[in-house]
């Protein structure tokens, strides 16, 4: 502990006193340290002007200690010092674990929050614009082939590039690392023309060999990546020359270009191990530093689309707090005048839902039980009761396809179904992501189910827990959400095939239905047919209550008036590469 923190401990014990009678032995006992250390700490307090000390000689006599710094000032100074030393996690823990008043805690957290956002450093030698932001979980595995969480995917999209990219405005696949491509009539041979002069972060130039190495490593590497299905149809990869490469597919695939726009098909340099926790790409930002507490991304000077304006992005893993990662440049940092910012409504391109674990035995294996639960979860009532970011009740993963108008819920019918299920009062263990809205939803559902005698225990889980299959499969049900990216076609295909998503909880027969749907979907000649097949698959999951949709969410954020180039990705975050700051 630092001497200031020791001072705070003593001052907290004597909050109402400006002056106390105390001995050095008593100080040592309060601070849980030796008498020698207490003497050293006291001398430091005097040097720094925290206290005045009037000693008394003689056994049994106490000295006079006068507090010169109020508790709130001392706590604030300590937090500021920790933040300056980049000990942000320690600062948050100090506030959370203290017994300060709620108003002082709020003030201290606000001080920590001010350390985040876009900061401009201007001196004679250099000018730097640095984005500081909090993270909700550790992201030390900076590998695009294993990503399955939306936040990670957004960040890794700034570090890695793919052959093609989806344009959310034109709703088409466009050139990226490849400046063009050709495909034969039956969609079985796709030929890509690689841009010249594209550099990796280590300075090497991208060629067809890097593309071939990446895909062959993924296909033949013997590793279990979450979305390896994207590559299942590739039969051969042939290099025609340094900048031309062809993919030969076993069967024609109209949506193969969508596959190659996924973050899971990012291109890495030849020779790199795809199992590595840290890889390099060609993206606008490169990884400068990473551990389980902090990630630093640095602008890549030679990105083929131009250097980004931001010089650095620093992300800090913090303990659970009310610090919203999006608030690093939103209205909470605008100061008193919040009218100058630009307001964006960010819609969740997906849905929240409850899914039962069909791989675990229990009451939920009965379709009557699941249907009883479905009857009690009236999403329209959830939106009315809880409000907040809940934009609308949901009946589908796709917001535009949700139709709640004709949905009816009956407690009487729910009880009848529950009686048929032979439920015997056992506790249903429900996991829910440790976010305020998700936990509110889960507790609301638990309260509603209690009305018909179903006992539910809600277990908060972390985002990182998603990667722990045994842990996730220990619950009877999970309450989570699916945030689709801009490319709806690709998002649906990932939903159907990603082993870390809904597939993890389904029975073998349900998985067969998903796979049949997937194979039918990729053969559809157009998007309308694509959606029809998907909705049929979705309906089968809803019929017996395995999946119960709840709400579509949205969030309204007012961004700083000097922040320009705001483009919101399908993951709900501004694209860092496009941000720039207008000096005011």
The answer on 175 and 60 residing in a single domain is: no
Phi/psi for 18 (5° steps) reads -95, -25
Beta bridge partners of 430: 458, 477
The answer on 165 and 94 residing in a single domain is: no
Task: Tell me what pLDDT residue 183 has.
Answer: 97
Given a cut of 60, is residue 343 above it in pLDDT? no
Q: How many CA atoms lie within 13 A of 336 on its CB side?
A: 0
Task: Give me the CATH number covering residue 185.
Answer: 3.90.76.10
Question: What is the rounded average pLDDT for all residues in the chain?
Answer: 87
Q: What is the mean pLDDT of residues 259-283?
A: 92
Count of the separate structural domains present in the chain: 3
Q: What is the mean pLDDT of residues 201-224?
A: 91
Given a cut of 70, is residue 344 above it in pLDDT? no
Greater pLDDT, 555 or 538: 538
Task: Tell me what pLDDT residue 59 has.
Answer: 67
Residue 299 lies in a domain: no
User: Which range has the worst mean pLDDT, 47-56, 125-134, 303-312?
Assistant: 125-134
Q: What is the mean pLDDT of residues 2-12?
A: 91
Q: What is the mean pLDDT of residues 359-368?
A: 96
Given a cut of 50, is residue 481 above it in pLDDT? yes
Percent of the chain topping pLDDT 70: 90
Residue 281 lies in a domain: no
Greater pLDDT, 421 or 132: 421
The answer on 209 and 71 residing in a single domain is: no
Asked which of 265, 282, 298 is the last residue of a domain, the reply is 265
Per-residue confidence at 333, pLDDT binned at 50, 70, 90? very low
The answer on 477 and 367 residing in a single domain is: yes
Given a cut of 60, is residue 337 above it in pLDDT? no
Given a cut of 50, is residue 432 above it in pLDDT? yes
Alpha-carbon distances of 60 from 29, 56, 80, 292, rounded to whole Å:
16, 9, 39, 51
Given a cut of 50, is residue 284 above it in pLDDT? yes
Q: What is the mean pLDDT of residues 539-558?
A: 84
Q: Which of 447, 473, 435, 492 is closest to 355 using CA atoms?
A: 473
Q: Quote the CA–CA distance of 297 and 130 in Å, as a whole number.
A: 10
pLDDT tens digits along 66-76? 999 999 999 99
The answer on 395 and 247 residing in a single domain is: no
User: Which range has the worst mean pLDDT, 44-58, 108-122, 297-311, 439-453?
Assistant: 108-122
Task: Give me the CATH number covering residue 74.
Answer: 1.10.10.10
Residue 428 lies in a domain: yes
Alpha-carbon distances of 121 from 112, 116, 479, rounded to whole Å:
18, 14, 43
The answer on 364 and 481 residing in a single domain is: yes
Q: Which of 346, 344, 350 is closest to 400 using CA atoms?
A: 350
Q: What is the mean pLDDT of residues 400-418?
A: 91
Asked which of 236, 265, 294 is the last residue of a domain, the reply is 265
Per-residue confidence at 346, pLDDT binned at 50, 70, 90? low
User: Which range has the worst mean pLDDT, 148-152, 176-180, 311-315?
Assistant: 148-152
The answer on 402 and 536 residing in a single domain is: yes
Task: Give me the CATH number covering residue 388.
Answer: 3.10.105.10
Q: Which segments of 24-143 does DSSP mark as H helices, in order?
A: 24-31, 35-48, 71-84, 88-96, 102-113
Q: What is the mean pLDDT of residues 118-147?
A: 75
Task: Tell me what pLDDT residue 407 has.
Answer: 84
Residue 25 lies in a domain: yes
The answer on 388 and 506 residing in a single domain is: yes
Q: Which of 551, 558, 522, 554 is closest to 537 using CA atoms?
A: 522
Residue 409 lies in a domain: yes
How many H helices and E strands in the chain?
17, 24
Q: What is the mean pLDDT of residues 549-560?
A: 74
Percent of the chain topping pLDDT 90: 56
Asked which of 49, 73, 101 is the last residue of a domain, the reply is 101
Greater pLDDT, 277 or 297: 297
Given a cut of 90, is residue 106 above it in pLDDT? no
Task: Tell me what pLDDT residue 331 has.
Answer: 40
Q: What is the mean pLDDT of residues 161-189?
A: 94
419 lies in which domain range?
346-555
Given a cut of 80, is residue 347 above it in pLDDT? no
Q: What is the mean pLDDT of residues 105-112?
A: 84
Greater pLDDT, 510 or 133: 510
Per-residue confidence at 443, pLDDT binned at 50, 70, 90? very high
Q: Quote the CA–CA distance of 476 and 423 in Å, as a whole number.
A: 14
Given a cut of 80, is residue 361 above it in pLDDT? yes
Residue 280 lies in a domain: no
Strands ordered across the beta sheet of 127-135: 117-122, 127-135, 312-317, 294-299, 285-290
* CA-CA-CA-CA dihedral for 392, 395, 401, 403, to nearest 10: -70
Task: Tell me what pLDDT residue 91 has.
Answer: 87
Task: Tell me what pLDDT residue 112 has.
Answer: 81
Determine contact, residues 19/66, Cβ cutoff 8 Å. Answer: yes
Q: Quote the CA–CA distance of 131 and 115 in Å, as a whole number.
A: 10
The answer on 169 and 91 residing in a single domain is: no
Given a cut of 70, is residue 476 above it in pLDDT? yes
What are the tokens at 350? Answer: 């997906």
Given a cut of 90, is residue 366 above it in pLDDT? yes
DSSP H or E segment with residue 150: helix 150-156
Task: Tell me what pLDDT residue 150 has.
Answer: 76
Given a cut of 80, is residue 561 above it in pLDDT? no
Task: Tell me what pLDDT residue 175 has.
Answer: 97
Q: How far is CA 196 from the centre of its chain?
A: 34
Determine contact, residues 284/163, Cβ cutoff 8 Å. Answer: no
Residue 355 lies in a domain: yes
Residue 89 lies in a domain: yes
């Amino acid at each position: 502990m630092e001497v200031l923190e020791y001072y705070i401990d003593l001052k907290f014990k004597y909050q109402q006193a400006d002056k106390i009678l105390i001995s050095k032995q008593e100080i040592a006992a309060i601070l849980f340290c030796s008498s020698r250390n207490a003497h050293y700490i006291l001398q430091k307090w005097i040097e720094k002007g925290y206290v005045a000390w009037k000693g008394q000689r003689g056994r049994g006599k106490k000295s006079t200690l006068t507090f010169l710094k109020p508790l709130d000032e001392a706590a604030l100074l300590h937090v500021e010092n920790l933040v300056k030393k980049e000990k942000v996690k320690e600062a948050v823990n100090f506030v959370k674990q203290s017994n300060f008043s709620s108003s002082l805690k709020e003030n201290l957290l606000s001080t920590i929050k001010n350390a985040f956002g876009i900061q401009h450093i201007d001196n004679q030698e250099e000018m730097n614009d640095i984005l500081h932001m909090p993270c909700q979980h550790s992201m030390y595995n900076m590998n695009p082939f294993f990503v399955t969480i939306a936040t990670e995917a957004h960040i890794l999209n700034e570090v890695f590039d793919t052959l093609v990219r989806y344009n959310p405005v034109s709703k088409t696949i466009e050139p990226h690392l490849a400046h063009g491509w050709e495909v034969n009539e039956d969609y079985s041979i796709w030929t890509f023309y690689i841009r010249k002069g594209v550099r990796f972060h280590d300075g090497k130039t991208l060629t067809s060999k890097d593309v071939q190495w990446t895909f062959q490593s993924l296909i033949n590497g013997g590793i279990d990546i979450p979305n390896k299905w994207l590559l299942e149809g590739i039969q051969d990869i042939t290099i025609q020359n340094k900048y031309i490469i062809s993919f030969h597919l076993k069967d024609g695939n109209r949506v193969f270009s969508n596959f190659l726009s996924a973050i899971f098909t990012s291109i890495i340099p030849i020779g790199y191990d795809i199992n590595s926790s840290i890889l390099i790409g060609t993206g606008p930002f490169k990884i400068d530093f990473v551990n389980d507490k902090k990630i630093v991304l640095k602008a890549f000077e030679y990105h083929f689309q131009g250097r980004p304006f931001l010089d650095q992005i620093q992300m800090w893993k913090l303990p659970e707090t009310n610090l919203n990662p999006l608030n690093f440049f939103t209205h909470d940092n605008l100061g008193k005048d919040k009218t100058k910012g630009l307001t964006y409504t960010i819609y969740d391109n997906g849905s929240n839902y409850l899914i039962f674990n069909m791989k675990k035995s229990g009451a939920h294996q009965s379709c009557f039980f699941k249907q009883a639960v479905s009857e009690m979860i009236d999403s329209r009532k959830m939106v009315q009761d809880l409000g907040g970011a809940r934009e609308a009740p949901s009946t589908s993963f796709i917001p535009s396809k949700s139709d709640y108008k004709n949905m009816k819920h009956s407690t009487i019918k729910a009880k009848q179904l529950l009686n048929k299920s032979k439920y015997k009062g056992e506790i249903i263990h429900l996991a829910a992501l440790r976010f305020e809205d998700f936990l509110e939803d889960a507790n609301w559902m638990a309260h509603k189910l209690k009305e018909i005698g179903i006992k539910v225990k809600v277990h908060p889980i972390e985002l990182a827990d998603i990667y722990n299959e045994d842990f996730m499969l220990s619950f009877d049900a999970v309450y989570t959400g699916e945030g689709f990216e801009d490319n709806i076609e690709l998002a649906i295909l990932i939903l159907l095939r990603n082993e870390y998503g809904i597939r993890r909880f389904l029975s073998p027969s349900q998985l067969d239905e998903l796979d049949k749907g997937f194979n039918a979907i990729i053969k559809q000649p157009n998007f309308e047919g694509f959606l029809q097949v998907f909705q049929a698959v979705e309906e089968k999951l809803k019929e017996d209550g395995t999946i119960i949709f709840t709400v579509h969410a949205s969030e309204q954020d007012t961004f700083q008036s000097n922040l320009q180039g705001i483009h919101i990705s399908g993951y709900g975050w501004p694209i860092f590469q496009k941000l720039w700051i207008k000096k005011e």
